[in-house]
Structure 1
Amino acid sequence: MTPPPGYRRKGETFVCRLHKSLYGLKQASQQWYSKFSASLCNYGFKHSEADHSLFHLGMGTDYVFVLLYVDDIVITGSNDELISSVKDMLHQQFHIKDLGPLKYFLGIEVARSSHGLSLCQQKYVLEILEDSGLSGARPSDTPMEQNLKLTDTGGSLLSNMSSYRRLVGRLIYLTVTRPNIAYTVNTLSQFMHQPHQPHLDAVHRLLQYLKATVGQGLYYSVTSSLELRAYCDFDWARCPMTRRSTIGYCIFIGNCPISWKTKKQHTISQLSAKEEYQAMAVTTCEITWLSYLFQDIGFSIPKPVLLFCDNQAALHIAANPVFHERTKHIEIDCHLVREKIHKSLIHPSKIPTASQVADLFTKSLWAVISTAS
C-alpha cells in the first residue's frame, strides 16, 4: 500500500510501521480474529473444536455462548448477569454497539416467544423480488415445473450472465432457512458457467414460488427433545447430461431440522445401493460433526442416532461384514458407516418411501407430493 496524499514529500522514500492492522489488508481479518479470540480466552472462554467461530463459557450450572461472524456477534446464555459481565468486558476492550435482544442477524429475522424461536428471511426475499422486478408477478404453488429437465444446451445463451449468477447466489443464501428450495437452487447453480434462457425462466418460477411463501421459515419449539434423527436418500442417475446421481440428507433435533444438504455426485454409479450407501456415509459424517459440537457446548445427545433410509440393500450391506464382488468398490464407505455403528453413534433403520423426508432434497417438490400422496 502507499501513504495517503500529502504524507510523503516528492522524492522521499521511506516505510511506515503499523501499530495495528488496517482494515482492508489481507491479514486484517486474521488479526481481528486472533485479538478477539485471545480476549475471550483470557476471560475464560473456550473454543469449540467443531466450530472455531463459537466460544463457550461455563460457570457451574450457568453458561454463555458467543458466536462470531467477522465483526457481528451473537451472545446468549442461561444467566443474564453473566451475559452482562461478558458485554462489559467486550466494551472495555472493543468499540461495540449493543443492539439489544436478537431480532435480525445477517439477513435472518428472529422472533421469540415463550413457546419457541422462529427464523425466516422475509425481508431478504422481498428485496430479491424487488431487485428482479417480479414483485407483481403471479405466485406459484411449486418452485419448479413438473418433469422439468434442464440441460446446458437448450435455449438461447443469456447476454447478461452476471445477473443470473448474482440472483442464484442470493438464492443459495436463502436456503439457510428454506430447505424446501434446496434441491431447486442446487439444480439452478449447476448452470452458472453458461446460463441459457430456460435456466432464467426456472429462476423466475422459483421467485414466483417465493412470493407465494414469503414468510415461511424454521420454527424451534422449547418443548423439543434433544434426540437426533437423520434421513438420507438418493435419486439414481438424476442428471440428464452426465447421468450422475443426487444425494441428500436432513437431520432433526426433536421435530426441528438443523442440518440438510443436496449434492450431485462427482462420479457415475452403476449400482443404486452404492449411491444410497454413499448418502449414508455423508450423513454419518454430519452426525459425527454434530455430536462433537454438542459435546463441546456441554450437551449430551441420546445415542445411537437413528439413521433412516428406504433402500433395503444398503441396510443389508451395513449389517453384513462380508464384502462381495459387487460391493468391493464401496469398502471405504462401508468401513466408515460400520465403525460408527459399532461405536453406537448411529443405528440405520428402514423407513417407507412415502415417509422419507429426505426426498425433498433429491427430487422436485412435484415428485415429493406425488410420492406422498
Structure 2
Amino acid sequence: MGPIQHFLGINIRHTKDGFFLSQSAYAKDLLEHAGMANYNPIATHVDTKLKASAADGKLIDDATTYRSITGALQYLTITRPDIAYAMQQVCLHMHAPRDMHQTMMKCILRYVKGTTSLGIQLRAAPSPTITAYSDTDWAGCLDMRCSALGFCVFLGNSLILWSSKRQTTVSRASVEAEYHAIANAVSECSWLRHLLGELLYKVPSVTVAFCDNISSVYMSRNPIHHRRTKHIELDIHFIWEKVAIGELHVPHVPSARQLADVFTKGLPSVLFFDFRDSLSVTAPDIETAGGGVM
C-alpha cells in the first residue's frame, strides 16, 4: 500500500527529520460545521486570569450542539497538545453548558482558525531517552477545589504522551497534588519503557521526570514520612522505588521552563508560544524526506 499518508483524519507527512502529523483538513471541516469558518482568528485560546465555574452564566438552549462540537474538538488534541488544557476546561461542563462555557469553546475555535496548519513533529532521536514534565494547579477548580493535573512525556526529542485533566480527589497540600502528578507521569513512563522493551527497543538511560516543586523533589529521594505526606504514602513508595533501583531521576526545573504548565493553566502569550514550540507543535517543514517541496 506504500508509505502511510492519511489515517483516521490525521495527515502524515514524511519529512527529512521524521514524521509530521496534522489534522488541518479536519480542523477546517470542524470550523465549517461550527459555523465559524469566517470568524476572525485570535492569538491564544484561553484567558490567563479567567476561570469558569459550573454556575457562571445562563444555561444555553442548544446543549447538544455544544457537546457535539466539544467532542469533535477533543479529537483534534491528538495532534494539538497546545489546546489540551482549554479542552479540559470546556469538557468539565458538558452536562450543563452555559453561555460562558460556550464563549470559551468559541475562543478555542477562533484560535484553531488561525493555526489550522499546525501539527506535531516527530523526530528521530540519536539515543533513546525518556523525559517527563509534570505540574499541577493546586485547588484550581472553582466548584470542587480539585487540582488540575498535567504532564508530557518525550521519547528523545519527540513528544509522544500528554495529559491534562482534573484530579478526582481534593489535595490538602500543594506538595500532595504535585506528587500525584509526578506519580501519574512516572507510571506512563514505566508503561512506555516496558512497551519498548517488548518491541526489543531497550532504553538504557534513566527516566528523567522534571518537577518545579522543591518539596516533591526532596521526597522522591527521602522516603521518610510525616503528617503532610501520609495521604500519598503509596505514591511516595512507588516513586522512591523507581529512584532506588536507578530507573528514575527527579530533578528540579525552574517554573519558566516547566513545559507541563501549558497543560494546567492559561499562560501569557510569549510564554505560551515558547512552550508550544518546545512541544514540537509547529507548521510543516518545507521539504519532505526526498527533498521535494510539499
Whether TM-score is above 0.5 comes out as yes
Q: Match for 1:309 among 208, 211, 225? A: 211
Moved more, 296-305 or 276-285: 296-305
- SS at the partner of 1:127? helix
Q: What pairs up with 1:324-343 in 2 under 5 angstroms?
A: 324-343=226-245
Which residue identity is paired with 1:350?
H
Q: Match for 2:180 among 247, 271, 278? A: 278
Aligned partners of 1:203, 1:254: CA distance in 2, in Å?
Answer: 33
Superposed CA offset, 1:295-314 (max 9, x none):
11110113311110010001
- 1:350 partnered with 2:256: no
Compute the displacement of 1:279 (Å).
0.6
**Contact 1:224/1:253 (CA < 8 Å) preserved in 2?**
no
Q: Match for 1:298 among 200, 203, 206? A: 200
Which residue identity is paired with 2:127?
S
Q: Match for 2:7 among 105, 109, 120? A: 105
- 1:170 partnered with 2:60: no
Superposed CA offset, 1:181-209 (max 9, x none):
00000010000000011111111110000
Superposed CA offset, 1:163-196 (max 9, x none):
1111111111111110100000001000000001
Aligned partners of 2:143, 2:8: CA distance in 1, in Å?
Answer: 36
User: Which residue number in structure 2 is paired with residue 288 of structure 1?
Assistant: 190
Q: Match for 1:216 among 107, 118, 130? A: 118
Aligned partners of 2:106, 2:25: CA distance in 1, in Å?
Answer: 18
User: Which residue number in structure 2 is paired with residue 144 of structure 1?
Assistant: 46
User: Which residue number in structure 2 is paired with residue 184 of structure 1?
Assistant: 86
Superposed CA offset, 1:101-153 (max 9, x none):
21100111000033321000001100100001111100010011231211111
**Contact 1:118/1:219 (CA < 8 Å) preserved in 2?**
yes
User: Which residue number in structure 2 is paired with residue 134 of structure 1?
Assistant: 36
Note closer, same or farther for the CA distance 1:218–1:224 as it changes in structure 2 (3 Å cut): farther
- SS at the partner of 1:350? coil
User: Which residue number in structure 1 is paired with residue 103 of structure 2?
Assistant: 201
Which residue identity is paired with 1:132?
A
Superposed CA offset, 1:6-63 (max 9, x none):
xxxxxxxxxxxxxxxxxxxxxxxxxxxxxxxxxxxxxxxxxxxxxxxxxxxxxxxxxx
Note closer, same or farther for the CA distance 1:370–1:122 as it changes in structure 2 (3 Å cut): closer
Compute the displacement of 1:357 (Å).
0.7
Aligned partners of 1:140, 1:322: CA distance in 2, in Å?
Answer: 49
Q: Match for 1:239 among 133, 141, 155? A: 141
Aligned partners of 1:223, 1:321: CA distance in 2, in Å?
Answer: 34
TM-score by length of structure 2 reads 0.89
Q: Match for 1:263 among 151, 162, 165? A: 165
TM-score by length of structure 1 reads 0.71
- SS at the partner of 1:337? helix
RMSD: 1.8
Aligned partners of 1:224, 1:242: CA distance in 2, in Å?
Answer: 45
Moved more, 185-194 or 158-167: 158-167
Count of aligned positions: 275
User: Which residue number in structure 2 is paired with residue 49 of structure 1?
Assistant: none
Compute the displacement of 1:358 (Å).
0.6
User: Which residue number in structure 1 is paired with residue 26 of structure 2?
Assistant: 124
Aligned partners of 2:269, 2:213: CA distance in 1, in Å?
Answer: 18
Which of structure 1's runs of 4+ aligned residues deviate more than 6 A?
370-373
**Contact 1:235/1:245 (CA < 8 Å) preserved in 2?**
yes
Compute the displacement of 1:372 (Å).
7.4
- SS at the partner of 2:95? coil
Superposed CA offset, 1:298-347 (max 9, x none):
10113311110010001111111211122112111101111111222211
Identity %: 36
Q: Which has the higher contact order (CA 8 A, sep 6+)?
A: 2
Q: Which runs of 5+ in 2 are unaligned?
A: 276-294
Aligned partners of 2:223, 2:57: CA distance in 1, in Å?
Answer: 50
Aligned partners of 1:290, 1:370: CA distance in 2, in Å?
Answer: 27
Compute the displacement of 1:369 (Å).
2.2
